[in-house]
């Protein structure tokens, strides 16, 4: 399945027992020797009777991460496709929170991603003595590189994300800058890095370098975090239509720190298969 080009191998761990090792994940996600995917997503039974499913997310390198917004949209279509539920709105337990994906009448999926996390210790992010400044309400930090310096904002929408505002995402050296920020020791668990080009208050373009996967065609949690940063900076407002390389996403947030961020976008079934692990 894919959500705006962010592609996943979805595994049903409800009707069968699955024990996945890191090498299994790497094999499945390998685009040359396996099926190929940005992430491998495992559906399993929730231990909480008030929650429908548990949702585990594994990057290409085998590491498990906290959140994946595009995957959450695919999740609700997958469990319906497999006959695991007939609900259009479900509650799903991720590593750190409960999210609520909902299948809309037009075929898109809307996900309540929860409230943004600004507490740096929860990302985690330890900026030390890095230079800082404010752009509106958005605090930014500065990192130097060979050709100058980068200013970025940091927050989490389940996954830590550093957001860099750029003039043109098409000419931005995403791999170079993504590795510089994303793998810097100031982020002990690494971070996603979003590069956001704001077109106007309600439109933007984005590219995201994901930890454990590199640049992907779309990143739901990273896009949500980037738009929150842009709204705090006064660059965007209310809702934003965001063009990722793989498709269009819509982000809605009322600007209040305790209010949830909503992610709306496509989720497409590609094919079914069987795999021996």
CB-neighbour burial class of residue 193 (10 A; exposed 0-12, middle 13-18, buried 19+): buried
* Residue 140 near residue 131 (C-beta atoms within 8 A): no
Q: Which of 74, 82, 219, 236 is catalytic?
A: 219
Alpha helices in the chain (DSSP H): 22-29, 69-81, 174-182, 220-232
**Residue 219 annotated to the active site:** yes
Residue found under tokens 């065609």: 217
* Residue 51 near residue 91 (C-beta atoms within 8 A): yes
Give the DSSP letter string of 23-88. Answer: HHHHHHH-TTTS---SEEEEEEE-SSTTS-EEEEEEETTS-EES--HHHHHHHHHHHHHTTS---S
Six-digit token string for 57: 């997310």
**Residue 74 annotated to the active site:** no
Q: Give CA–CA dist 187/189, Å, rounded.
A: 6
CB-neighbour burial class of residue 125 (10 A; exposed 0-12, middle 13-18, buried 19+): buried
Q: What residues act catalytically?
A: 68, 219
């Amino acid at each position: 399945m894919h959500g705006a080009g962010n592609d996943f191998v979805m595994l049903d761990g409800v009707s069968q027992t699955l024990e996945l090792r890191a090498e299994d994940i790497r094999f499945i996600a390998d685009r040359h020797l396996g099926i190929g995917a940005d992430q491998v997503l495992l559906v399993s039974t929730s231990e909480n009777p008030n929650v429908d499913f548990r949702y585990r997310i594994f990057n290409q390198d085998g590491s498990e991460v906290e959140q994946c917004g595009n995957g959450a949209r695919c999740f609700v279509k997958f469990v319906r496709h497999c006959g695991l539920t007939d609900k259009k709105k479900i509650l799903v337990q991720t590593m750190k929170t409960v999210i609520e994906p909902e299948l809309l009448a037009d075929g898109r999926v809307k996900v309540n991603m929860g409230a943004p996390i600004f507490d740096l210790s929860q990302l985690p992010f330890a900026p030390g003595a890095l230079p800082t400044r404010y752009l509106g309400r958005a605090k930014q930090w500065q990192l130097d590189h060979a050709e100058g310096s980068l200013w970025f904002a940091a927050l989490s929408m389940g996954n830590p994300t550093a957001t860099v505002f750029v003039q043109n995402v098409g000419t931005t050296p995403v791999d170079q800058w993504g590795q510089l920020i994303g793998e810097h020791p100031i982020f002990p668990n690494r971070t996603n890095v979003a590069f956001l080009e704001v077109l106007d208050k309600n439109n933007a373009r984005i590219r995201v370098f994901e930890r454990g996967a590199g640049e992907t065609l779309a990143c739901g949690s990273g896009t949500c975090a980037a738009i929150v940063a842009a709204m705090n900076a006064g660059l965007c407002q209310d809702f934003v239509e965001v063009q990722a390389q793989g498709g269009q996403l819509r982000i809605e947030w009322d600007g209040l720190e305790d209010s949830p961020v909503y992610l709306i976008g496509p989720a497409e079934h590609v094919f079914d298969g069987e795999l021996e692990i």
